[in-house]
C-alpha cells in the first residue's frame, strides 16, 4: 500500500470520527439524559486518569528513593576500593 493510500485511509477514518462526534453532540443538545450520561462518562474517565497518574507518581517516588540508595552504595563501594588500593600500595612499599 502506498504512502498516499495510507494517508487517505487515515484521513477518512478521522473524518468519519469527526462526523460521529458531531452527531453525538447534536443528541446531547436535544436530550438532557444522554448529555448527563456523557458527562458522567467523562468524569469517570478523568477520575481513572487521575488515579493512574497518582499511582505512577508514587512508583516514580519509590524508584527515585531506590536510585538514591543505589548511588550511595556505589559511592561507598568506590571509596572502599580506593581504600583497598591505597592499603595495597602501602603494603608494597614496606
pLDDT at 29: 67
Residue bearing cell 477514518: 13
Percentage of the chain modeled with pLDDT above 90: 45
pLDDT tens digits, one per residue of 49-69:
999 999 999 999 999 999 999
Amino acid at each position: 500500500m502506498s504512502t498516499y493510500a495510507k494517508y487517505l485511509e487515515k484521513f477518512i477514518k478521522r473524518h468519519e470520527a469527526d462526523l460521529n462526534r458531531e452527531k453525538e453532540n447534536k443528541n446531547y443538545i436535544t436530550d438532557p439524559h444522554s448529555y448527563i450520561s456523557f458527562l458522567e462518562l467523562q468524569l469517570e474517565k478523568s477520575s481513572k486518569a487521575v488515579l493512574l497518574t497518582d499511582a505512577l507518581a508514587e512508583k516514580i517516588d519509590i524508584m527515585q528513593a531506590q536510585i538514591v540508595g543505589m548511588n550511595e552504595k556505589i559511592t561507598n563501594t568506590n571509596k572502599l576500593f580506593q581504600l583497598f588500593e591505597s592499603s595495597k600500595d602501602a603494603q608494597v612499599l614496606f
